[in-house]
Amino acid sequence: MKTLLMVFFLAIPAFVFAEPLSNAGFLQGGIWYSKDPFFAGETVRVYAALFNSGSEDIAGAIEFLDNKNSIGSSDFFVERGGKFTQVWVDWSATEGEHLIEAVITKVSVIRVGGSPVAIELQQARAQESLRQVEKDTDKDGIGNNTDTDDDNDGTSDAQELSEGTDPLAASSPISEEENAVPSEQTDITDTIIALLPEAVEKPISEIHAAAQSLLAPVKEQVEQKQEQARQQLDTLNGNPEANSTEKTKASFYLASLSAAAFVLKTEIILYAFALFLAYLFLKALARRMFKR
């Protein structure tokens, strides 16, 4: 019976009798940050501190958690006799609520010349830190929840909301181009060109300018021909013996020239070239018709 009892006691592992160490563990300061306040999108260093007022050195590892998910772990070593040490991990904060914890995942007593002996600590969990992380759009150190002008464009959030502008985007000043009023000399083509995207506006403007100088003599010629055709039609109309087919042809010729003159005057360049060709064709046709 005595032997049985002895075997029983020997079989029970020693750590069952070991009390968790109360003179080492996390400092009551809990968890702190390298920057405070910090905002969404920033990376901060998360700290905790360990103390050891025991008579033996201790070493181990700490895991940091964000909403129960691991941020990372950090090894530690704290000398005996009232020393303490800091442990940390870097953490990229996101918007929202975060429960930050630090937990000792393993700890051992380190004896000189001996191998580490696993122990337990009473203060194995740091006082957690519950944080509401907000955005700081203009990065002025005042979170959007407290900042009255989130985008720092000089107009308050309340005013922006009532005016329908974006309180989270600094408004760009209205450009001169947007403000520009087309001058009175601007013709219809220029107005159309001004509405085109910038990338095409320039080449089109250049083409337009070139076309304008090219078309100027043509315009003059067409106007002259128009005047001649008008006179010719008047002559035909005044002549009772004139052929009606000839009158119709002359009217058609004048109408075509008028259309060409109108297009050249309004400079609808896309049609101008086609009408110029039509004018040349009509001119050739007219030469044949009025050949004497």
Residue 142 sits in the site that holds Ca ion (CB under 5 A): yes
Residue 208 CB-density burial (10 A; 0-12 exposed, 13-18 middle, 19+ buried): middle
Supply the minimum distance, in Å, between the C-beta of residue 133 and Ca ion.
Answer: 14
- Does 138 sit near Ca ion (CB under 5 A)? yes
Among 57, 134, 136, 267, the residue binding Ca ion under the rule CB under 5 A is: 136
Indicate which single residue of 34, 73, 127, 171 sits in contact with Ca ion (rule: CB under 5 A).
171
Complex with Ca ion: residue 101 or 151, whichever CB lies closer: 151
Nearer to Ca ion, 35 or 265 (CB): 35
- Taking the complex as a whole, how short is the minimal distance between the CB of residue 67 and Ca ion, in angstroms? 25
CB of 80 or CB of 135, closer to Ca ion: 135
Instruction: Please identify which residue in 75, 90, 128, 140 interacts with Ca ion, judged by CB under 5 A.
Output: 140
Which residue, judged by CB position, is nearest to Ca ion in the bound state? 147
Task: Examine residue 155 and tell whether it contacts Ca ion (CB under 5 A).
Answer: yes
149 binds Ca ion (CB under 5 A): yes
Q: How far is the CB of 137 from Ca ion (least distance, A)?
A: 6
The answer to whether 244 and 226 are in contact (CB under 8 A) is no
Longest distance between any two alpha carbons in the chain, whole Å: 156
Q: How far is the CB of 96 from Ca ion (least distance, A)?
A: 17
3-state secondary structure the chain: CHHHHHHHHHHCCHHHCCCCEEEEEEEEEEEEECCCCCCCCCEEEEEEEEEECCCCEEEEEEEEEECCEEEEEEEEEECCCCEEEEEEEEEECCCEEEEEEEEEEEEEEECCCCCCEECCEEECECCCEEEEECCCCCCCCCCCCCCCCCCCCCCCHHHHHHHCCCCCCCCCCCCHHHHCCCCCCCCHHHHHHHHCCHHHHHHHHHHHHHHHHHHHHHHHHHHHHHHHHHHHHHHHHHCCCCCHHHHHHHHHHHHHHHHHHHHHHHCCHHHHHHHHHHHHHHHHHHHHHCCC
CB of 141 to Ca ion, least distance (A): 7
- Using the contact rule CB under 5 A, the part of the chain among 170-178, 192-200, 208-216, 242-250 near Ca ion is 170-178
* Count of positions on this chain that bind Ca ion (CB under 5 A): 12
Residues in contact with Ca ion, shown as a per-residue x/- string from 42 to 81 under the rule CB under 5 A: ----------------------------------------
Report how far residue 26's alpha carbon sits from residue 52's, in angstroms, rounded to the nearest whole number. Answer: 9
> Per CB under 5 A, which of residues 95..134 are in contact with Ca ion?
none
- Comparing CB distances to Ca ion, the nearer of 37 and 116 is 37
> Quick one: which of 147, 189, 229, 254 contacts Ca ion (CB under 5 A)?
147
- Interacting residue ranges for Ca ion, rule: CB under 5 A: 136, 138, 140, 142, 147, 149, 151, 153, 155, 160, 166, 171
